[in-house]
């Protein structure tokens, strides 16, 4: 069982921001911004490549509720999901990083090597 499934089942603790019957949002334990929340479906889905359109529709509404709850919808925020090894997905359970609370930079690609990709 993956770590996020254990969090959903309350086998591991988390700092919950918002929860409903299908989704859970909690603070990231290694934040990259003043606000860094992970939003996940409670049902296990490996990644964005596997998710249904119905789940994504619900996730969209849920993420919009989360940003209102933490009061970053007006100042702005970023929503990111990582897919696979090259996409830096560390946990094989679909999750969206919601980052905000400050003016975010976009310098994390500085170490990427684009040779052979274009």
The answer to whether residues 49 and 83 touch, using CB atoms and an 8 Å cutoff, is: yes
Known catalytic residue at 97: no
Please, are residues 17 and 66 in contact by the beta-carbon 8 Å criterion? yes
Query: CA 42 to CA 8: how far, in whole Å?
Result: 6
Catalytic pick among 44, 95, 97, 117: 95
User: What gap in Å lies between CA 82 and CA 61, rounded to an integer?
Assistant: 20
Nearest-CA neighbor of 67 among 103, 108, 96? 96
CB 72 within 8 A of CB 17: no
- What is the Cα Rg of the chain in Å? 15
**Residues annotated as catalytic (active site), given as ranges:** 95
């Amino acid at each position: 069982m993956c770590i996020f499934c254990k969090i959903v089942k309350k086998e591991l603790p988390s700092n919950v921001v918002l929860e409903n019957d299908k989704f859970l949002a909690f603070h990231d334990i290694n934040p990259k911004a003043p606000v860094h929340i992970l939003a996940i479906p409670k049902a296990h889905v490996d990644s964005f490549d596997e998710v249904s359109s119905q789940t994504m529709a619900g996730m969209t509404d849920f993420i919009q509720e989360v940003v209102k709850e933490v009061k970053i919808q007006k100042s702005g925020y970023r929503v990111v999901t990582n897919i696979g090894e090259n996409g830096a997905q560390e946990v094989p359970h679909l999750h969206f990083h919601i980052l905000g609370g400050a003016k975010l930079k976009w310098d994390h690609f500085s170490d990427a090597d684009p040779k052979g990709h274009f």
